[in-house]
Amino acid sequence: MTGNITRRGEHSWRIKYEPGERHPTTGKRQTRYVTVRGTKKDAQRELIRLLAEVDNGMAVEPSKLTIADYLRGWLTNDRDLSPKTRERYRQLAEQQIIPHLGTTLLQKLKPAQVHDWHGALLKFGGAGDRPLSARTVGHAHRVLHRALERALRLEILSRNVARSIHPPKVEAAEVAILDGSQMAQVLARLDGHPLHVIVALALGTGLRRGEICGLAWGSVDGATVRVDRSLEETSEGLRFKPPKTRHGRRSVTLPLSVVELLAAHRKRQAEQRLMLGLGRAGADDLLFTLPDGSPYPPDKLSRDWGNVVRARNLPKIMFHALRHSHASALIAARLDVVTVSRRLGHGSPAITLSVYAHAFASANTDATAARAIEAAMAAKP
């Protein structure tokens, strides 16, 4: 493998090299040309890198594909993306990635550009040129990283430049939750409201919003509820989807108070269905629906929760915080991390620890650890 460097201008050099493969039709040796701006040493380093790629079988065919075209093609055609993920990725791509990097050739993207892109987003990447949070910049970075990883697998790229640049650090912030006394107060203030049983179920089981909206009566067996799907909402509409992992498919034991509330709710729903001429609810019918019997959209549930929070002067927390409240209550009761993880449907206890590390730290202080080891050391042989 050989190559040479020719001066094209005062600070411009042309690299000529052979990629080590012949033309698929003519069988002739192929030659590639690359222009480098900088010193001759810069050109020499680039030639060495290109020849190393050829030697390692990592050389890729030059392409005029831009980042914008590549991202849009990926987000349109990749069948591995769920509708909700595709929608969120497309939003991040169109709002945060393409306006800044879209015209850059995919194969020309450099780590320095990714670094500068982070800085630009943090300063004026939001609507109206407002700063973006480090968390949102991190989300955008992960979309770019995943896109480049795919291009690497398809041999469009020889490396993923997003690997070497880390997204900005996100300062850990505790999520606002309900403590034990607040749970009781919230449920008391919701008595008689349509959301009463839903909130009780969320607090009593830690189910996600979509899991609650996707529950069918066939999944309720006495004091146990089986989670085997979720209701997902995108701009294209509603759809039921299975859990992401096998751990998400689980059975959760209900508190007695929730069992009683569900029984009363089922009776009221039966009366409503009778009035609508829908007949008796079957195993496939949903626990929670709109008045006409159609599925309860998860986004509407969040909006309805926000409305009742304001109307009944409840603690200002998001609906998803009810799940965090459930988990924190279990941890405060000193349940082990494996049990908590299984109940929440996490992929592993490590995820539970990472999300609720602060809660475990509060429930199990160092002083508690000292007393525990003291008791062990003082035990009679």
Give the residue range(s) of CATH 1.10.150.130 domains in the chain.
67-163
- Provide the pLDDT for residue 225: 96
Which pLDDT band holds residue 1 (cuts at 50, 70, 90)?
low
HSE of 198 in the Cβ direction (CA atoms, 13 Å)?
25
* Residue 85 falls in which region: left (phi positive, over 0), alpha (psi -120 to 50) or beta: alpha
By three-state DSSP, how is residue 130 classified? coil
What percentage of the chain exceeds 90 in pLDDT? 55
Which pLDDT band holds residue 9 (cuts at 50, 70, 90)?
confident
Question: Would you mind telling me the total number of residues written for the chain in this entry?
Answer: 381
Residues 67-163, CATH architecture: Orthogonal Bundle (1.10)
By three-state DSSP, how is residue 141 classified? helix
Residue pair 353/360 in contact by the 8 Å Cβ criterion? yes
Give the residue range(s) of CATH 1.10.443.10 domains in the chain.
180-318
- Provide the pLDDT for residue 27: 56
Please indicate whether residue 308 or residue 31 has the higher confidence score (pLDDT).
308
Please indicate whether residue 49 or residue 147 has the higher confidence score (pLDDT).
147
Which pLDDT band holds residue 380 (cuts at 50, 70, 90)?
low
- 293-300, Cβ contacts within 8 angstroms, sequence gap of 24 or more: 295/213, 295/231, 295/238, 296/213, 296/231, 297/213, 297/231, 297/233, 297/238, 298/209, 298/210, 298/213, 298/231, 298/232, 298/233, 299/233
Over residues 276-331, the pLDDT tens digits come to 888 888 899 999 999 888 999 999 999 999 999 999 999 999 999 999 999 988 98
> Considering only the top CATH level, what class is 180-318?
mainly alpha
Residue 370 has pLDDT above 90, yes or no: no
Least confident of 72-76, 216-220, 289-293: 289-293
Over residues 115-144, the pLDDT tens digits come to 999 999 999 988 888 999 999 999 999 999
Residue 22 has pLDDT above 60, yes or no: no
Residue 30 has pLDDT above 90, yes or no: no
Distance between CA atoms of residues 74 and 368, nearest Å: 52
Over residues 167-200, the pLDDT tens digits come to 999 876 667 889 888 999 999 999 999 999 999 9
Which pLDDT band holds residue 359 (cuts at 50, 70, 90)?
confident
Residue 76 has pLDDT above 70, yes or no: yes
Mean pLDDT of the residues in the chain: 88
Please indicate whether residue 365 or residue 191 has the higher confidence score (pLDDT).
191
Report the range out of 148-157, 250-259, 364-373 with the highest average pLDDT.
250-259
Q: What is the mean pLDDT of residues 221-226?
A: 94
- Provide the pLDDT for residue 333: 86
